[in-house]
Chain A
């Protein structure tokens, strides 16, 4: 009877083998080269628009992005059945926002303490308490609409408020034009309560802007708010009385800019970084950009890859974080590739680093034994498997499945993907496709002039997209992998040609490369055979040893034989 491992242990082993098995680093090295070329291209293209995209007065100016990264409000969704915590808010329209903000600032400036402020808000409190939980009657709205129609003339207003004070003047059925309408709130109140309410209305009215338009904007805003929102608004005002004038201004500024009370914000700002937040003068930017391009070039050729891969990712994200307004899907894919090229040892193959290590291996072997021993020959023949390269490739592969799955499943929500017109929309979108070429437009017109032909083509196109996007995440792990990779390549070739998104497509194809075995790539990339050459050297002469090691290190095709030359001189 044998002791076979249990299912848990087998599962754990399979998991470890899936993620952490060493793999041929050639695939990752090749991905690095292709990614590096594309990254270089992308950033070289930025040279045309460095100031326009990342400068102080770029499309998204520094002042805006600085505030965003430091102050942007994040509010967590409620963890229970409650609604979001209500916050004071201002109207969205600038003229209305200005009026309400001015009202709030003036109100607090004139009544800086709670004792002074409260009388001005007492009428709002009355409306709030009268409202209770009954949101259908909207007593609060009625009470504010009443104020909206109050006269600015004190004597007329006095008469209007008399009806609030005294039931005898009240128009109960709203039909008697000789009598004044009153807010529903006062119905059923005692004479004393009515008098107090009238006084509160007057104080509230006095606190409103004198300008009738501004006053109406403030009242409109109060009317449009739900009772909860208005309550938050009033509490915000009361909260201001507890603050110093500087802090008060700070909180008002935040509300005005972000339209949310900073007190209800769970997290402020975005954890982003960018060199372009800090280097803003054109000369400095040009120097920094040039240095970045050099680093990217070094990464592409695989020089000091462990360092340059990290620096390349940081640099690329620096551009990304600075101006998200210029980004599209391509940047997302570029970031993914660079991120995983940084995690894995992307310089272990097809790189300057590899050449350097080859040199050191040859030199060590020659120093040791005067010849190339078996392990060294094996090392020269192919780079040893790398755990981190294997890990990075797995990360790329799994991430790619997430991308395809999300993309495919999200399309299932769209009617145009079901009735297949989505295919038409992607084929003739004037800003993306080659429809501006007459030949393309005419060819397309000729093809789709037959409705059945159009229906068949668009159905095939949509089905192809779904099979690729929804099928790949599953089929890629089976023996169908080569075919599925070809399917993916075809999809992206189509996107490149018909939608003009060349770099996006090339980056997606680069992601697909992660599924290719390193040996297949090495076979394709291997230089052809040719005549063999001999390099004679004296291992005791350091200079000759160096030359021999260097010659063998760069002998990628393996055509050079090192021969020990023992003859003196």
Chain B
């Protein structure tokens, strides 16, 4: 129980020191036991799962007991000392593959050592040291706030060399630059999932393939809680894909020349495929029509997403074979067109970029796809909807044409 808000001792008698020591020593014993046992098991390279479970339980008990003893007598340096020894034992007690827990315990051990020091020194020194810790902490917070470009040299140096591990460990790296420099459009993912079902297609004599669009995020399906947290989590997932390489258009890029050649082929309908024209420059500037994802996105995030979708959507009787991923930037409707009646969800307000087709292992199937990383335009028809069209569709949806499967455009 809490001992910090201490009334005069006669009001709430403190827990007996003997009891506190008993708790601390029981924690120490559990950690020591796990440490000794763990060291032996590691030395003989034991792979017995039950032994690991026992080690983990001993460590959990030991660490909580040691922590409890500190909470009962936070001003006793000896208790902090016992806790630091317990943490050292716990470090060895953890199985080696629980490496992140070992890191945590190592940090806990160091905190205990600092605790010993802080409680053993006179108050004046303790306050001085506390002040230093406050300054160090907020120094880190400050450097984190200055990290987005343009970042001062000094701040970058201190952040990189001193603070990064601390701020990463505590997840305090945020720069708090919300909606800056300015609010931008959200990114969505439209994924065309191709399933192979346990049914033979009479036309091909092979397993039947069926397709399904997955729209991420979608309020109707992804809002599972009243405050829409599940929806916003998915929006964060899709937002992760919106970083692009800024210097793509460097004249030295051979790939750029190849990509342009391939894109021209797509515009002409090469390989017998549907013709996907370039978007007019007044609709989207040409430099903005080829957006290569940042390396971390193309190398790790997209393959992981693809693999996840393949696993998540496979079920008995149907296996996901490939996924085609499109990132859609949902442009914010300009106020001048909004007042004239433009729907903020009009398909022409979406800028779809093809991020590739992936197999079930998360491998990009064709890195030389003609449309890879290019804008797949959804263009307003010059004369508006055809008078004969009962659906009054006033746009050309090349996204559906490129995917080979109709996107269902609807308001949430």
Chain A interface residues (CB < 8 Å from chain B):
15-16, 19-20, 25, 41-42, 44-45, 48-49, 52-53, 57-61, 64, 68-70, 74, 76-77, 79, 91-96, 216, 220, 223-224, 257, 259, 267, 270-275, 277-278, 304-307, 310-311, 314, 317, 320-321, 325-332, 335-336, 339, 345, 347-349, 351, 353-354, 356-357, 360-361, 364-365, 368, 375-376, 378-379, 383-389, 391, 395, 398-399, 402-403, 405-407, 410-411, 413-417, 421-422, 424-426, 428-432, 435-436, 441, 444-445, 448-449, 454, 500-503
Chain B residues lying within 8 Å of A454, measured Cβ to Cβ, are 335
A351 to B303, CA, bound (A): 47
Min C-beta distance of A94 to chain B, whole Å: 4
Is B2 at the interface (CB under 8 A from chain A)?
yes
Cβ–Cβ contact B412 & A304, under 8 A: no
* Candidates B127, B237, B338; contact of A16 at CB < 8 Å: B127
**Main SS of chain A's interface residues?**
helix
Chain A residues lying within 8 Å of B312, measured Cβ to Cβ, are 52, 57
Q: A41-B227, A278-B98, A502-B227 are in contact. Are A272 and B130 (CB under 8 A)?
A: no
Cβ–Cβ contact A345 & B5, under 8 A: yes
Interface-lining segment among B10-18, B34-42, B394-402: B10-18
Interface-lining segment among B170-178, B263-271, B283-291: B170-178
Is B273 at the interface (CB under 8 A from chain A)?
no
Residues of chain B from 360 to 378 with CB closer than 8 A to chain A in the complex = 362, 364, 367-368
Interface-lining segment among B192-200, B204-212, B250-258, B381-389: B250-258
Cβ–Cβ contact B103 & A61, under 8 A: no
Cβ–Cβ contact A379 & B7, under 8 A: yes
Cβ–Cβ contact A92 & B295, under 8 A: yes
Min C-beta distance of A268 to chain B, whole Å: 12
Min C-beta distance of B330 to chain A, whole Å: 6
Is B409 at the interface (CB under 8 A from chain A)?
no
Chain B residues lying within 8 Å of A388, measured Cβ to Cβ, are 4
Is B311 at the interface (CB under 8 A from chain A)?
yes
Cβ–Cβ contact B411 & A96, under 8 A: no
Cβ–Cβ contact B301 & A60, under 8 A: yes
* Smallest CB gap from A25: residue in B: B5
Chain B residues lying within 8 Å of A378, measured Cβ to Cβ, are 7
Chain A residues lying within 8 Å of B367, measured Cβ to Cβ, are 93-95
Cβ–Cβ contact B183 & A429, under 8 A: yes
* Candidates B100, B183, B255; contact of A274 at CB < 8 Å: B100
A95 to B363, CA, bound (A): 12
Residues of chain B from 159 to 187 with CB closer than 8 A to chain A in the complex = 160-161, 164-165, 168-172, 174-186
Chain B residues lying within 8 Å of A349, measured Cβ to Cβ, are 5
Chain A residues lying within 8 Å of B99, measured Cβ to Cβ, are 70, 277
A413 to B151, CA, bound (A): 13
Is B8 at the interface (CB under 8 A from chain A)?
yes
Min C-beta distance of B251 to chain A, whole Å: 10
Q: A15-B131, A77-B160, A278-B101 are in contact. Are A364 and B170 (CB under 8 A)?
A: no
Hey, what's the 0/1 contact readout for B285-318 against A, CB within 8 Å counting as 1? 0000000100100111101110110011000000
Min C-beta distance of A322 to chain B, whole Å: 10
Min C-beta distance of A73 to chain B, whole Å: 11
Interface size class of B (residues with CB under 8 A): 35 or more
Q: How many inter-chain contacts with C-beta < 8 Å in the A-B complex?
A: 310
* Smallest CB gap from B187: residue in A: A431
Taking each of A48, A76, A259, A429, which has the highest tally of chain B beta carbons within 10 Å of its own beta carbon? A429
Q: A19-B131, A92-B245, A428-B333 are in contact. Are A361 and B12 (CB under 8 A)?
A: yes
Chain B residues lying within 8 Å of A20, measured Cβ to Cβ, are 127, 130
Cβ–Cβ contact A77 & B180, under 8 A: no
Cβ–Cβ contact B178 & A59, under 8 A: no
Cβ–Cβ contact A272 & B255, under 8 A: no
* Smallest CB gap from A355: residue in B: B1
Chain A residues lying within 8 Å of B148, measured Cβ to Cβ, are 410
A416 to B179, CA, bound (A): 10
Cβ–Cβ contact A503 & B227, under 8 A: yes
Cβ–Cβ contact A335 & B171, under 8 A: yes
Cβ–Cβ contact A389 & B5, under 8 A: yes
Chain A residues lying within 8 Å of B412, measured Cβ to Cβ, are 430, 436
Cβ–Cβ contact B255 & A325, under 8 A: no
Cβ–Cβ contact B171 & A321, under 8 A: yes
Closest 5 CB pairs of A and B: A414-B181, A306-B71, A348-B5, A414-B182, A416-B182
Cβ–Cβ contact B104 & A304, under 8 A: no
Cβ–Cβ contact A410 & B134, under 8 A: no
* Candidates B104, B142, B178; contact of A407 at CB < 8 Å: B178
Is B24 at the interface (CB under 8 A from chain A)?
no
Chain B residues lying within 8 Å of A92, measured Cβ to Cβ, are 245, 292, 295, 298
Min C-beta distance of B335 to chain A, whole Å: 5
Cβ–Cβ contact A448 & B2, under 8 A: no
Q: A327-B236, A502-B227 are in contact. Are A432 and B292 (CB under 8 A)?
A: no
Is B64 at the interface (CB under 8 A from chain A)?
yes
Cβ–Cβ contact B229 & A77, under 8 A: no
Min C-beta distance of A50 to chain B, whole Å: 12
Chain A residues lying within 8 Å of B156, measured Cβ to Cβ, are 77
Chain B residues lying within 8 Å of A429, measured Cβ to Cβ, are 183, 185-186, 332
Cβ–Cβ contact B183 & A422, under 8 A: yes
A15 to B128, CA, bound (A): 10
Min C-beta distance of A394 to chain B, whole Å: 8
In the complex, 27 of the A-B residue pairs with CB atoms within 8 angstroms, ordered by the A residue number, are A41-B229, A49-B233, A59-B304, A61-B362, A64-B303, A92-B245, A92-B295, A94-B298, A273-B103, A278-B101, A304-B71, A345-B5, A361-B12, A364-B10, A386-B5, A388-B4, A402-B142, A402-B176, A405-B145, A411-B182, A414-B181, A415-B181, A425-B182, A430-B186, A431-B330, A448-B335, A449-B339
A387 to B308, CA, bound (A): 48
Cβ–Cβ contact A406 & B175, under 8 A: yes
Interface-lining segment among B77-85, B114-122, B217-225, B274-282: B217-225
Cβ–Cβ contact A335 & B172, under 8 A: yes
A424 to B179, CA, bound (A): 12
Chain A residues lying within 8 Å of B100, measured Cβ to Cβ, are 69, 272-274, 277-278, 321
